[in-house]
Amino acid sequence: MDAAAQHTTVLLTEAVDALLTCADTADTTAQDGLYVDATFGRGGHTRLLLSRLSPSARVLAFDRDPDAVAQASSLHDPRFSIRQQSFSHIAELEASSAAGILMDLGVSSPQIDTPSRGFSFRFDGPLDMRMDTTRGQSVAQWLVDATVEKIAEVIREYGEERFAGQIAKAIVAHRQERGPIESTTELAQLVADTVKTREPGQNPATRTFQAFRIFINAELEELGQALEASLDVLAPGGRLVVISFHSLEDRIVKQFIARHSKDEYDRRRPFAAPRPMRLRALGRSRPSAAEISANARARSAIMRVAVRNSAVLGLAA
């Protein structure tokens, strides 16, 4: 199976339109400048973006997945380059250098549908789940020594799983009695045997797999760092577009935009002028019913858009 061919980019046109639309007009024609695809995946957003940009524009992509970087080698465009790094590394870019930053969060379809990556309970494979398979611990390696308390904490915080304690105890009991859990099917069956009730249509292991994936890749920490970095990297009037796929991600994005979309007051200096807001929220959107019907993985997506406030740098807003 050609994994790249199986990937359908969520909110493809909507995200690129949001990224390119000028701050005060509906103009989405080709533009100059540097655009950052912080999560290349299989390059759907990048390819459409390049088709809309001027010959002098540039697109810089980030992705820590070696398979994604290999896929990028098929994109022969002198305006495009990619770095095999996590997207928090956008902090290394020059201040005010980007006309737009796009973050399409979560896991791509090829990652989920490739058994050897260990992301899915639907396939039997090694319990890995690393975005970057060249470094760090796999989930299986982490579970060899993790305590009941730590496992429960991860499942509870990152999976919002009410049976976190029971699942953690079952994992450690399995480790002590039969050895470490090494495969996706082992983990999925253990969770199914432990969790006796679940929302209709949801596999009992869904929340546990999500939790372990987020934890082992430090996804929420990476997101927080990348969002903070975007404040410095975006040029005045530059757009920030973020697509989230679960509530933990979306909550971070929503709160980040809200926090920086209002003037900041220094309580230690009550008579000082407030620091002007750094972003202006432009709203959120979801996939259409037609897109969800064609691609079920789009159903939980939420796209939030903000623009870098020009007034911060003393320019006309």
Q: Is the pLDDT of residue 314 over 60?
A: no
pLDDT band at 271 (very low <50, low <70, confident <90, very high): low
**Residue 124 domain-assigned?**
no
At residue 2, the pLDDT reads 40
Residue with tokens 């639309």: 21
Mean pLDDT of the region 128-133:
95
* Measured CA distances, 277 to 166, 198, 305, 308 (Å): 45, 43, 15, 9
Same domain, 192 and 60: no
Same domain, 8 and 106: yes
> What's the CATH code of the domain at 288?
3.40.50.150
- Closest listed residue to residue 245, CA positions, set 219, 226, 221: 219
How many independent structural domains does the chain possess? 2
Same domain, 175 and 36: no
pLDDT tens-digit profile of 274-293? 566 889 999 999 999 999 99
- Closest listed residue to residue 307, CA positions, set 12, 17, 18, 14: 18
Boundary residue ending a domain (216, 234, 261): 216
Residue with tokens 């791509």: 108
Boundary residue ending a domain (216, 250, 277): 216
Taking CA 205 as the corner, what is the angle to CA 201 and CA 156, rounded to the nearest 5 degrees?
115
**Residue 208 domain-assigned?**
yes
Same domain, 83 and 146: no
Same domain, 101 and 228: yes
**Residue 166 domain-assigned?**
yes
Residues 6+ positions from 76 with CB-CB distance below 8 Å: none
Boundary residue ending a domain (216, 232, 260): 216
How far apart are alpha carbons 159 and 167 in whole angstroms?
Answer: 12
The dihedrals phi and psi of 229, each to the nearest 5 degrees, come to: -65, -35
Same domain, 225 and 104: yes
**Residue 120 domain-assigned?**
no
| Domain of residue 204, residue span | 133-216
DSSP E strands in the chain: the ranges are 34-37, 58-62, 80-83, 98-104, 234-244, 279-285, 302-308
pLDDT tens-digit profile of 199-225? 777 899 999 999 999 999 999 999 999
Same domain, 300 and 226: yes
> What's the CATH code of the domain at 152?
1.10.150.170
Q: Is the pLDDT of residue 316 over 70?
A: no
